[in-house]
Each structure stands twice: as C-alpha cells, then as structure tokens.
Chains A and B, each alone.
Chain A
Amino acid sequence: MEMKEIIRGNMATALAAKMARVEVVPAFPITPSTLFPEKISEYIANGELDAEMILVESEHSAMSAAVGASAAGARVATATASQGLALMHEILFIASSMRLPIVMAIGNRALSGPINIWADHSDTMAERDSGWMQFYAENNQEAFDLMLMAFRIAEDRRVLLPAMIGLDAFTLTHTMEPVDYPSQEEVDDFLPPYNPPYTLDVKRPMTFGSFATPDSYMEFKWAQTVAIENSYKVIDEVFEEYKKRFGREYKRVSGFMTEDADVVIVSMGSASGTLRDAVRRMRKEGMKVGAVKITTFRPFPFKEIKELTKNAKIIAVAERAISPGFGGPVAGEIATAFINEKERPLISDFIIGLGGRDITQKDFKYIAETALKEAESGEVSPWVKWVNINPEEVPPGGE
C-alpha cells in the first residue's frame, strides 16, 4: 500500500534510511544536510528505528565510523555535503576499496571558497574517482527511491560498493514536495537484511583494509573496477524490480524528445525538470530540442548516452561544476564516450548554476540557441561557455 506525504528532500532520504532499517548512522551535521541526522535521531528517540547513532567530532570521523560499522556487518547510512564530503575524502577511497556498501545522501553544495551553502555539484564531482557509485535525484520522490534502491544495489554480492545519492542543496533538501512511499512490509520484502560475505568477528578473525604491496595492489583495484562494472547490470535489475513492485520507472539515463532533436541538452539533478519544461516551450516555438538526464553518473552510462544522442547535431552539456583549467567534468566524460566513434555529434560545454545561482528556462534557451549556432558553423569555440554570468565582474585577463 502506497502512502503519500509532503516532505523535504532530507526527510525523504532519512525516511528511506529508516525504512531500510539502517543499523548504524554515524553523522556530523552540515548545511544543507542537517535535517537527515535530526530526523534519524527523532526516529530512534520515538522508537521507530532501532539503530545506533554515533555522534562524531567531524565528517572524517563520521566516515571512519561508517567504515568500521559496515565492516562489522551493519547496514550503514549517513549524510553530508560540500566541505563535509571533502573532509571525508580519504576515507571514501577506503570504504570503496574495502567493498563496504555504505549509503550516503549528499546535499549537493558548492565547495569553499568563497564560502557558499547553495546548490552546486562540485562536491560530488570532486569524489567521482573515489570508487563510490553516484546517483543524482531530480526531485524528492527520486531522492527517496534512489536512496532505498541504493542499499539493494550496494549490498548485491556482485557489487559490494558504497553509493552516494546527490540531492541539490535547498532546491531539494529544503523544498516540500509530495513523496509516495511503500509500506514497511513492502520495503522489507524488497530489501532483506544485509548479509555480508565477510565481517569483523572475534570468533573468526580476519584482516580488513590491510597493507597491499606492489604484488597485489593492482589486483585489488582491478577487482574493485570489475565490481563497479558489474553494477551496470545490477542497477538495471534493481530499477526494473522497483518498477514492478512500486510502479515508478528509473533509468540510469533518461531521454526526453531526443528522437528528432538537433540539439540535446544534458543535465543532472534538480535542473532536469526545469529543462523538460524549457524543452516543451522551445518545441512550441519550433526549435528541435531534446533533453537527457543523467541519474547514474558512476558507473558512467557510456552506451546509453550515445544511444540517446545519436541523431543530434550537437550535445550541449549544462553542468553545475567546473574543473578549472579543463572545463566541465560531465562534458569531458561525454566526449570520452564518443571518442572512438566515426560518426558523432559535436559536444559543447556550458557551466551553469554554480553556488546556487537559479537555473531557469531562459538559461536553457540560451544554451540551445548557442549550441544550434555552433552546430550550424561546425565550430565549438570556446569549448566552455559560462551561462548567466556578469562579464563586468570579471575583468579581461582575470586581473
């Protein structure tokens, strides 16, 4: 039986963690994710959740405690954002290499400096090489569903890797939206208790996260890579099963009006709904525009991106992160997907909505028009365009 409630994005991920019957939640509060540990502690205090909450002195410790608890066999979830995620950085790699299926909600927020608490993907983009699976939610419903599914995917024996669910700061974390959720019985049926192949156990001593010499280190990394490659199939299976059970369809990448589109705009996260609205408006004006939303960024959906954009003249990537001295990380990865194809669309990169700057339909129209001009001339230059920026604030030469 489905229930429906109007809740904030942070409440959606906390509800999913509760319904997943998480056993340990180590957490350190940070804007805009603080409501997650607040809700978890409320659930525990109300007797709705039987879990151990570990209040730590930093995010580095939160992730370290998560690693320990997960290695001991517990189902573990936490949440953080921005500087908090950055402080976890070194432990993220340990979690993934120890093959611990920790699930973490990230309130996607800009990295300092300047200090800024608003929506931006630079925090999770900086962790794309950490070995974690990455999912990005468009709305609170997706935040709930992806968080719940992440446990199943992460704990699958073919995968055994941690996963992070990105939900844009404020635009999702603090916005109230209706969210459908299944009953506890249905969730229990979908997500059985975590059954780890190996755990820390005094009766069966074992070493976790041990020293690896040049003789074995590469094989560890190779095994980890095989695992995340296995996750393509596991994610698709879990998405399919979720649809059968709960009626909501998920894809690692979804297309909207892409079939005959000359320009396909790619987005991730909360701007994806605004993008669809913009596409509908531009279609009414006769512009052949389509949209692609990336839900699963790790593992990267090479095949699906190519399939959805194969008829386009140009792909315009609208991304909320910048790798200074390179460009947008998402555009770089999409370009890689096409690198060995003889026939390929042009690819153009647009930086948008950094530090919470609002992303509007007008911005997407500017992107579509700019990209169509590039397609016409056959030249994408410059490679990186900044959308809705005040050039007067940036003197030429960057002095």
Chain B
Amino acid sequence: MYEVRFHGRGGQGAVTAANILAVAAFKEGKEVQAFPMFGVERRGAPVMAFTRIDEKPIDVKTLIYNPDFVVVLDPTLMEVVNVTEGLKDGSPVIINTKKNPEEFNLGNYKVYTVDATTIAVENGLGTPMSPIVNTAIIGSFARVSGIVKLESVIEAVRELSPVKKEENVKAAEMAYKAVKGL
C-alpha cells in the first residue's frame, strides 16, 4: 500500500490533487481511495487530503498516519505545520516553492521543489495571490514518485478539471519537467 498526504490551504485544490492522483492510479488498474481531512474546508486555512494506492482492494478506512510521500502545495505552511509528521523515514517531500531543495533542512527526508505557483499563473490557473497549483504539483509528483505515469495524470487532469482542461494539462507537463532535486 502506498499512502500520500497533501498539505495545502483551503482553495488551492489539495482535495482535488488527492482525487486526481487516485483517478490516475485507477486508470493504471490500481485500487484507490482519496479523502479530505474531514470537515475543515475553509478558504486559506491549512488543509490536508490523502490518497491510498494498492494492488489489492483497500479495506482500511483510518486516516493516514505514516505516509510514504508528502506533497506541500503552499510554501508558507512549512512554518505553520509539521509537514513531515509521521512520514516514513527517508521518504520524499515535494514542496511548491521558488527555493532549491538544499534550502530546506528536513533531516533525512528527501526534499524536492517545484515552482508550481509560477507554472500555474503562467497557464492562467488562479492569480499570483491565489494560484491553483494542484494540477501542476501532481505532474511533479508523478516524476518523483514513479508511482503513476505522466500520461495517466494528464488523463485524470483532463477528466477532473471543470474548466481550462488544456491549461491544467500543460501545467502538469511543465511541472513534471521543472522539478528540482532529482
């Protein structure tokens, strides 16, 4: 079982990111489950969302306490939330930021960075103050994790984007290439 935790702020699309990942993995024949941290959907507030991926049907319905991968959609959360809490030793963290991975000191966790905000804004997804970075960061996730193919992510993004489908696809592709720390 592979478990992913997304940290974002209400309105950035963390819940949709978790759903896109689930749909992408499902397209590759995996069993999946995606859910938000229940009942905290307020704009701007720190939110979490989760995805489980497995070869077998997923029985477990608990929250995710020890993820295999953490995705951070908003760099300002790094000062507010302990994003690596419970993350399995030596596991990857991907952060949406202009900074380089070396600028983060997260012990023996593997840090990757991508400027998903700039990519999102360039593609007309949200505004610089309120960018919608979920589709971009999932592209980077595919690259770093190898858990899902970029093609599956693109299909899922197309399916789940209510508007600007091709812009969202473009953002995923650009962020796939732009990730730092590999």
Contact = CB atoms under 8 A, between A and B. Distances in A.
B133 to A, nearest CB: 20
A118 B33 contact: no
A276 B59 contact: yes
B23 A6 contact: yes
B61 A6 contact: no
Contact of B59 (A118, A170, A273): A273
B38 A176 contact: no
Contacts of B59: 273-274, 276-277
Contacts of B107: none
Contacts, number: 63
Nearest to B1: A277
A121 to B, nearest CB: 14
B63 interface: yes
A174 B15 CA distance: 11
A117 B36 CA distance: 14
B47 to A, nearest CB: 13
Contacts of B34: 6, 175-176
Given A6-B22, A6-B23, A6-B26, A176 B35 contact: yes
A361 B63 CA distance: 11
Contacts of A359: 61-62
B32 interface: yes
A87 B36 CA distance: 28
Contacts of A271: 61
A222 B127 CA distance: 66
Interface in A299-329: none
Contact of A176 (B22, B60, B65): B22
Nearest to A116: B39
A169 B31 CA distance: 22
12 contacts: A6-B23, A6-B32, A168-B61, A170-B36, A170-B38, A171-B38, A177-B58, A178-B31, A178-B32, A274-B60, A274-B61, A359-B61
A356 interface: yes
A273 B60 contact: yes
Given A171-B35, A177-B58, A274-B61, 8 more contacts: A170-B35, A176-B18, A176-B19, A176-B34, A274-B60, A358-B62, A360-B62, A360-B65
Contact of B38 (A174, A177, A178, A361): A174
A82 interface: no
Interface string A75-110: 000000000000000000000000000000000000
A176 B39 contact: no
* Interface size of B as a range: 20 to 34
Contacts of B18: 176
Nearest to A269: B61
B36 A174 contact: yes
A360 B61 CA distance: 8
**Chain B interface mostly helix, strand, loop or mixed?**
mixed
Interface string B1-31: 0000000000000000011001100100001
Contact of A277 (B19, B31, B39, B60): B60
A137 B34 CA distance: 18
Contacts of A276: 59
Nearest to B62: A360
A31 B61 CA distance: 20
A355 B64 CA distance: 18
Given A6-B22, A6-B23, A175 B35 contact: yes
Contacts of B61: 139, 168, 171, 175, 270-271, 273-274, 359
B23 to A, nearest CB: 6
Interface in A156-182: 168-171, 174-178
Given A176-B34, A177-B33, A274-B59, A170 B39 contact: yes
Contacts of B32: 6, 176-178
B60 A175 contact: no
A273 B33 CA distance: 13
Contacts of B19: 6, 176
Given A170-B35, A170-B39, A178 B26 contact: yes
Nearest to A271: B61
A171 B63 CA distance: 9
Contacts of B39: 31, 117-118, 170, 356
Interface in A354-369: 356, 358-361
Nearest to B19: A176
A203 B86 CA distance: 69
A118 B40 CA distance: 11
Contacts of B36: 170, 174
Interface string A343-387: 000000000000010111100000000000000000000000000
Interface in B43-64: 58-63
Contact of B62 (A139, A168, A174, A274): A274
Interface string A323-338: 0000000000000000
A360 B60 CA distance: 9
Nearest to A356: B38
A274 B63 CA distance: 11
A358 B33 contact: no
A271 B60 CA distance: 8
A177 B63 CA distance: 15
Contacts of A171: 35, 38, 61
Interface in A238-277: 270-271, 273-274, 276-277
